[in-house]
Amino acid sequence: MGKVGAAFTVLVMLMLSGALALSGVRLVTSGDLVLTGIGVGVLSLVVIGLLLVAGEVRLGSASARLARALEAEGGLPYDPPDVTRLPSGRLEKDDADRLFALRRAEVEAAPEDWRAWWRLAAAYGEARDARRGRRAMRKAVALERATRG
């Protein structure tokens, strides 16, 4: 998802959170004990949702910052020269598997290098494994922050 899509998603989330928060406040101030409890639950869910979205936005911003740093160092593009991309931009399955094995070996060889973890996260993205990709990107961000001090 690009920046426009992410911004649109965040905007929709904020609008829905606002509507839910308003409903939660109305329930809390209703004077009925049961409705007050439900209102507290609704407000809690709004806060949790906003915290999750904020975390994803921070991760996306940090990963883009790392990509710019990697590009400035000459570390992008991260594809080996012999991979084939489909018209959609995705890698062919065999190439994605080879790329993933290469990136995993880089991380095993240099487990404290944020660049290797960033490339592994991108390889997870190519493999459509978003959960592990986010985990690897969080590791890359943490390692890069540790090197900055």
Q: What is the mean pLDDT of residues 11-19?
A: 96
Of 139 and 6, the structure prediction assigns the larger pLDDT to 139
Q: Could you tell me where the DSSP H helices lie in the chain? A: 3-28, 33-72, 93-109, 114-126, 130-148
CATH number of 93-148: 1.25.40
* pLDDT average, residue stretch 25-33: 97
- With a pLDDT cut of 70, the percent of the chain lying above it is 99
CA distance 35 to 116: 51
Asked if omega into 77 is within 30° of 0 (cis), the reply is: yes
Q: List the beta bridge partners of residue 85.
A: 91
Structure tokens belonging to residue 37: 């409890």
* Domain coordinates in residue numbering, the chain: 3-72, 93-148
Q: Which residue has the tokens 């890698």?
A: 91
pTM: 0.80
Q: What is the mean pLDDT of residues 37-63?
A: 96
